[in-house]
């Protein structure tokens, strides 16, 4: 089994080369594959940076709050749940399934952005055709009716970008599924 996987990966890697691949690119990839050229890390000190970020996020975590604040947050959360439960039980005129026209209007206003975890672009959805539109609309309406989002729609890639004038601090960008 492992041999088959390795063989498939090797063939997949070999398929990345073609008549237009430059010799320098070919040799560079070959050196990396044979271990003669170490891959440069994304950060000069990745382990230290990972530890620094972990410490920073731990300091900002709600678990670090004083006990009285955590108790207050729990009480507020319970109150919110009561309000949400009450709101869910109310029937609203806007609480109906989406129409194909609403779907198309929403899609037209969307432009391609950075890819999320699903690697689906808005232009791909725009070119899905009538069958693709109906399939996606059915999924959206099923999610709406159930009151639950598919777990894949909740996944996000978080990208940290160093601030230009403040390198130790980062601006975060969250890339979600379109």
Q: Is the pLDDT of residue 119 over 70?
A: yes
Q: Is the pLDDT of residue 17 over 80?
A: yes
Q: For residue 109, give the 3-state DSSP assignment.
A: coil
- Taking the mean position of all CA atoms in its chain, how far away is CA 34? 32
Q: What is the pLDDT of residues 94-105, one digit of tens each?
A: 778 999 999 888
Q: What is the pTM of this model?
A: 0.45
Q: Is the pLDDT of residue 93 over 80?
A: no
Q: Give me the residues paired with residue 175 across strands.
A: 157
Q: Which residues contact 97 (CB under 8 A, 6 or more apart)?
A: 141, 144, 145
Sorting pLDDT into bands at 50, 70 and 90, what band is 53?
confident
């Amino acid at each position: 089994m492992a041999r088959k996987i390795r063989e498939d990966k090797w063939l997949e890697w070999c398929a990345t080369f073609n008549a237009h691949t430059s010799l320098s690119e070919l040799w560079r990839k070959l050196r990396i594959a044979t271990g003669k050229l170490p891959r440069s890390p994304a950060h000069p000190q990745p382990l230290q940076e990972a530890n620094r970020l972990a410490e920073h996020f731990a300091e900002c975590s709600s678990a670090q709050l004083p006990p009285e604040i955590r108790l207050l947050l729990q009480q507020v959360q319970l109150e919110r749940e009561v309000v949400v439960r009450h709101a869910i039980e109310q029937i609203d005129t806007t609480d109906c399934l989406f129409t194909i026209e609403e779907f198309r209007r929403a899609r037209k206003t969307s432009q391609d952005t950075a890819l999320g975890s699903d690697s689906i672009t808005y232009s791909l959805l725009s070119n899905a055709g009538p069958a693709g539109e109906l399939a996606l609309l059915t999924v959206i309406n099923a999610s709406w009716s159930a009151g639950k989002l598919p777990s894949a729609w909740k996944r996000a890639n978080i990208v940290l970008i160093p601030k230009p004038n403040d390198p130790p601090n980062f601006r975060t960008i969250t890339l979600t599924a379109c």
